[in-house]
Amino acid sequence: MRRVFLVGAADPRRLIKDPDISPFNVGKEIGLEEFSPAETRQLTDNLVRVGIEASDEVHSRIYWWTLGQPYLIQKVCETLEDWRVRRSIKQATVDLVDQAVQEGVLSAKANDSNLSHIRARLDEKETFMAKALLRRIFAGEHIRFEPHGGADGRLAELYLIGVIKEGPDGNWVIRNRIYQEALKGFLTREAAVNADDLRKRLAIHRQNLSRLEERRARHGLDVPLKLLNEIDLEREEIDRLERALKELGHG
């Protein structure tokens, strides 16, 4: 008998059409945590098998960068193994590990599939507000951890993308130092672009509100309900845009 397993991550809320029905009756969660330092060492010990000597400091440095993320551990080790062949490297050093991270994972030339996936998910339109929240976490703001993001859909989105986890102090943190480095420039550039766009949209809605307020003034006490509703909608949109700008640090 053959069994086929389909593995992936999805927002549970997207698995159902009726929001009043729990999405957790359609699947079972299997948690995959990062490796501990000891488990990471079991993986990085394989460097010796491919002819690369590595000191305790080298093993610790790989863990320092990856914080036990299995894919990233393998990616760094794969880069070192490739250098053994192409550059005749037989002894790994802390500096070489740092270079392997920069050239083999973070560089544009590396075009790492894991980092590309994360950036692509963060570029999706529906993750705009989640990305604003990620900037706050990146800046060190303390946001209390709740399993799966709790009731905040933005945190749930970031959790499923895989960029945040519970930190030692019980707050959300960026998952590892490689992700921190990868997201640093990305978030800074995105913040500038998004802030400009939000300011333009905010200016338009403020103009709309001003015109609507003038129309209301002309009606005196007999203001049409439709006009009042339009004013309320503009105020709500202005409030939403102002909050979004504030979350980007431009409030």
What are the residue boundaries of the structural domains of the chain, listed by start?
A: 37-106, 112-251
- The pLDDT score that the predictor gives to residue 100 is 97
- The pLDDT score that the predictor gives to residue 213 is 93
If you search the block for the tokens 């009726």, which residue do you land on?
Answer: 18
- The pLDDT score that the predictor gives to residue 44 is 97
Q: Average pLDDT of each block of 10 consecutive residues along the chain (251 residues)? A: 65 61 59 89 95 96 97 96 93 97 93 90 75 82 80 82 91 95 77 73 91 92 89 88 74 59
Architecture of domain 37-106 in CATH?
Orthogonal Bundle (1.10)
- The pLDDT score that the predictor gives to residue 138 is 86
- The pLDDT score that the predictor gives to residue 122 is 84
- The pLDDT score that the predictor gives to residue 63 is 98
- The pLDDT score that the predictor gives to residue 136 is 82
- The pLDDT score that the predictor gives to residue 157 is 85
